[in-house]
Chain A
Amino acid sequence: MTRRIAVVGAGMAAARFAERFQAFGGDAEVTLYGAEPRAPYNRVLLADVLTGRYAADDLTLPAGEARLRTGCEVTGLDTVAHTLELADGERVPYDELVLATGAEPVACGELGRGRVHVVRTADDGEALAGAAARARRAVVIGGGVLGVSVARALASCGLPVTIVHRAPYLVERDLDGPAGELLRRGLAGLGVEVRTGVTVREAEPGAGEGEGAYGAVRVELSDGHTLDADLVVAACGVTPRTALARAAGLPVRTGVVVDDSLSCAPGVYAIGDCAEHAGRTHGTAGPAWEQADVLAARLSGASPDAVYEGSRPYARLSAGPLEYAAFGDAAAAGEDGLDVLRIADATRGSYKKLVLRGDRIAGAVLLGDLATVGALARAYERGEPVPSDPFHLLTSPTSPTSQGAS
């Protein structure tokens, strides 16, 4: 009988697994069970559905020849009987199980009473796009990479936008203070105001007529100010979706705990945002796909001994004129054994920083001018020794940007 691989989830990690499994020549019936009503799509690009850059249908991802069951929520796992339980009560047998349940947005304080959008699914994106078309003023709660992307997208729709951010500067997980400040200035140029060091105490219905009418939501900040808006978006990060795994008795800490083979129990695997490997969870597509590639190589038999060795932290914003790349521990400074190189050009709005531990890159930021991003990313990712004069990683005259000379 054909071997059956059940994949719980039909997001980016699931699609990549299915696509690679087939490309590697895997021989099994792979079924993706997705709660959403559509085929797997590229979540990374959702903010640009707002700007009209992508139609929702454009985002569809390849998933090999896997069977796809959309609108099909998995409500229970029985890892002893090897069955899934679906929302309609159906029980489906499997031989191997891949958890790719993803993550869900975390709540941003007490926001229960106001209408607050999130940006996680294509439906979220469409709802937000519809609301943005009617709105006149927006507040984005959270100044991480998603918040900045969404704010920029809303601003490009012509909306005045305010970002409310808890940390002292934007994207504090990726950037340092000066870079965060430059990013704030770049956003200001697009019509986005940024309030840092404050949290939202409450968002509640305002004086207006409801969503789409100015003043429909009143956002109360921790510093006592209030912001009137008719569109509020929460972008406060995500948390692994682990309820199924936990209920099934699988090992869960922050995420579903997997080993280097991405296994959490015999015949059960977890990849993507829901997985925790070596004490780390990731919320981005890069590590999710690296995990999917390893698992597909293993389960297809193409490379049965492949192991996942972890992913190096790497963040990349590429949103219109706002661009940065951040590697590793970019905010680090002052620690023993760390050398820091910085090149800032305020007039051009560029900032570059290299943090070295010995001759290896511990972290780096490029903001505004990313001409050397390719070389820097490679040196960082491969842990390459940096020569005694590492400035070429920040300002290479031979960076791959040559313009024709003739």
Chain B
Amino acid sequence: MTTSGPGPGTATDTHCPYCALQCGMRLRPGAGPEPVEVLERPGFPVNRGALCGKGRTAAAVLRPGVRLTEPLVRDSRDAPLRPASWDEALDRVAAGLMAVRRRYGNDAVGVFGGGGLTNEKAYLLGKFARVALRTPNIDYNGRFCMSSAAAAHRRAFGIDRGLPFPLADVAGTDCVILVGANPAETMPPALRYFRELRENGGRLIVVDPRRTRTADQADLHLQPLPGTDLALALGLLHLLIADGRADKDFIARRTTGFAQARAAAMAHWPGRVERITGVPVTQLAAAAAMFGEAPRGMVLTARGPEQQSKGTDTVSAWINLCLAAGKAGRPGSGYGCLTGQGNGQGGREHGQKADQLPGYRSITDPAARRHVAAVWGIDPDDLPGPGRSAYELLDSLGGDGGDGSGGGIGGNNSDGRVRALLLMGSNPAVSAPRAAHVTERLRALDLLAVGDVVLSETARLADVVLPVTQWAEETGTTTNLEGRVILRRKAVDAPEGVRSDLAVLHGLAARLGVPEGFPEDPEEVFEELRRASAGGQADYAGISYGRIRAEDGVFWPCPAPDHPGTPRLFLDRFATPDGRARFAAVTHRPAAEEPDGPDGDYPLFLTTGRVVGQYQSGAQTRRVDELNRSAPGPFVEVHPVLARRLGVAEGELLAVSSRRGRAVAPARVTDTIRPDTVFMPFHWGGKGRANSLTNPALDPVSRMPEFKVCAVRVEKAEASAVTDAAS
């Protein structure tokens, strides 16, 4: 270990382990059962000291009884996990990977990463896949997070950064449309900027099928049918044009493709959009006027529009609205994506995405391949090409193809199936769509090795579990939703028996015959990452740990040490070859699976999302008592009209079925949801697992699964059906 812990009594400035805000916090050695105490850090600009319940209680996951403290291995498929030494565990993983490579080829091993991993880990994991394993098959759960926004961003602006401006700019604009985003629950400290917006006289429009806590704060809440916000955005563009509020000068000077986008909007006239979305024309008109009249404005999207099989087009439609209104590439205006995971932004920039190399380079671009291969000291021809996207990778796991339900990639052996998987920082047994099938695929692997902090549902399936350091126990950078590269600092030594992910990769690479190139020191990895990203879109060349410490974060692109970084993008030009933003001619289409008739098998919409007390698959937060008290388990939100029809009362168990599976959870009766839609949070495994139901239909561009819309049937369940729910 080269990064030592702080001395006794000193406090360490660092950042929260959870969402993409990466709130600043201060850790002080703790006197209680937890090794550190979480304190406010008012000086950090994004959250100005505010923390949500998840951040405040983050130290609970550091407790020895909660986190893993020794490697675990399984002697055979049916044997239980047992403690093992690091050497045994790493030898076992390396031998398993080698055996699969020898028998089936390099493509038969895969790597699955996570959007919570630091930049250093994400970078090294991508390098590990391509250099040590020489497999194209690496992807990560960030594919399930913001990949649609990323694709639409690049299509329109030529570059993908979640927000093109600091979050604080929200408070100073005149109108924000928040689409399928619920920051009141997903990133509470961000909410202050929306409050300040309204205190400053700005307007907030929220688009969400549910009247969320965020929607409650809006000047106008549009409540469309799930999966119809593409039509809604086109309808608003239509009205913007019809009402004479399109910014013709901006369109002429700074964009291309308006005529086609306008034609697409003409195919979505108000009456038709009302019929598709269920949002009355009067409300469409009010929203279009509110946004169109505002001198400056922003559209911010989150998973609602993005997690659809048409997510890329949906986001493009919202970008079109910004462009037509002249609200982009100007101070106080623009489109942005509220990235979800802690390092969702950085995680996609440095090579754990199947089609990308560090610096947000394309793996199919020969110049990019030459550059990265030179940094890595290999022949560009030895770099694999693009691999499978996250769900396609998970779907291809296991040699037994089974009855063909494995889907996707073909039948049995020598067929490109992946038989050994190294998985870090992700819990797809809970978070992947069609999760029962994915669980079955994970079980069918010859080798599953999982690096994690806790024994997650996915780790429980593993042949080898590697206990790795977390957040307060390690140093590394993340890049928050603003594109601000920040530094998490080690505040406490990890328990005996825990190693960093970087050390794991170092140990595995050495066993695979690649002893060089996988340093354990995060700063050393970051220095290499700087070189690898130099000249790419996400250029970190000018960023150093020293600068981050001194400046409270540096915004990429930052190509040189004397470059100030780029808090605001696009003010002079967009990052396209001609400097102009590109309209996309997109058309509404139905979800991959729509409810059938009222007498059909699956008559209702299911949409999924989060609650404030839990985070993602819950692997961390479900181990925190205080959070479990506020959010103890899964539930099914139903409208009173639907509850009456089902004959179900608050708290009674409901069985929700889709074509992919079944979940059971208590009813929560509320008029904040549409009567034709039910909602489930996705934080739990077991019988209440929402992702047992969700649809892996993929967006053709981003390969994002359709988490937000599928068709279900809802019935009263017998109490006996759920005794082990949420286990």
Contact = CB atoms under 8 A, between A and B. Distances in A.
Contacts of B163: none
Interface residues of A, number: 44
A404 B216 contact: yes
Given A44-B269, A375-B675, A403 B221 contact: yes
A19 interface: yes
Nearest to A15: B267
B598 A404 contact: no
Nearest to A45: B269
A378 B266 contact: no
B223 A402 contact: yes
Contact of A286 (B221, B262, B272): B272
Contacts of B223: 400, 402
B241 interface: yes
A370 B282 contact: yes
A42 interface: yes
B283 A318 contact: no
Interface string B277-301: 1111111000000000000000000
Contacts of A403: 219-221
A53 B242 contact: yes
B593 interface: no
Contacts of B672: 398
B201 interface: no
Contact of A59 (B217, B266, B639): B266
B641 A382 contact: no
B241 A58 contact: yes
Taking chain A's interface residues, is the majority helix, strand, or loop, or is none over half, making it mixed?
A: mixed
Nearest to A40: B263
Interface residue tally of chain B, by bracket? Answer: 35 or more
Contact of B645 (A314, A385, A400): A385
Contacts of B271: 44, 316, 318
Contacts of B219: 403-404
Contacts of B218: 404
Contacts of A382: 595, 597-598
A14 to B, nearest CB: 13
Nearest to A48: B242
B722 interface: no
B646 to A, nearest CB: 11
A62 B644 contact: no
B674 interface: yes
A374 B277 contact: yes
B270 interface: yes
A25 to B, nearest CB: 10
A90 B21 CA distance: 66
Interface in A284-337: 285-286, 314, 316, 318, 323
B446 to A, nearest CB: 37
Interface string A56-71: 0011111000000000
Interface string B246-288: 0000000000000110111011011110110111111100000
A314 B281 contact: no
B269 A286 contact: no
Given A58-B262, A314-B275, A378 B225 contact: yes
A42 B267 contact: yes
Given A285-B272, A400-B223, A404-B204, A61 B263 contact: yes
Contacts of A401: 280, 283
B715 to A, nearest CB: 15
A66 B553 CA distance: 51
A377 B639 CA distance: 18
A406 B217 contact: yes
B238 to A, nearest CB: 9
B597 A370 contact: no
Contacts of A60: 259, 262-263, 266
B587 interface: yes
A378 B283 CA distance: 17
Interface in A385-406: 385, 387, 392, 397-398, 400-406
Contact of B587 (A62, A314, A373, A402): A62
A371 interface: yes
Given A60-B266, A316-B274, A318-B271, A387 B211 contact: no
Contacts of B644: 387
8 contacts: A19-B587, A53-B243, A316-B271, A323-B282, A373-B280, A400-B283, A402-B221, A404-B219
Given A45-B266, A53-B242, A403-B219, 9 more contacts: A15-B267, A62-B585, A316-B271, A370-B280, A375-B675, A378-B225, A383-B597, A398-B672, A404-B221
Which 10 residue pairs are nearest across A and B when measured between Cβ atoms? A374-B278, A400-B223, A398-B671, A384-B598, A62-B263, A316-B271, A402-B221, A404-B218, A318-B281, A42-B266
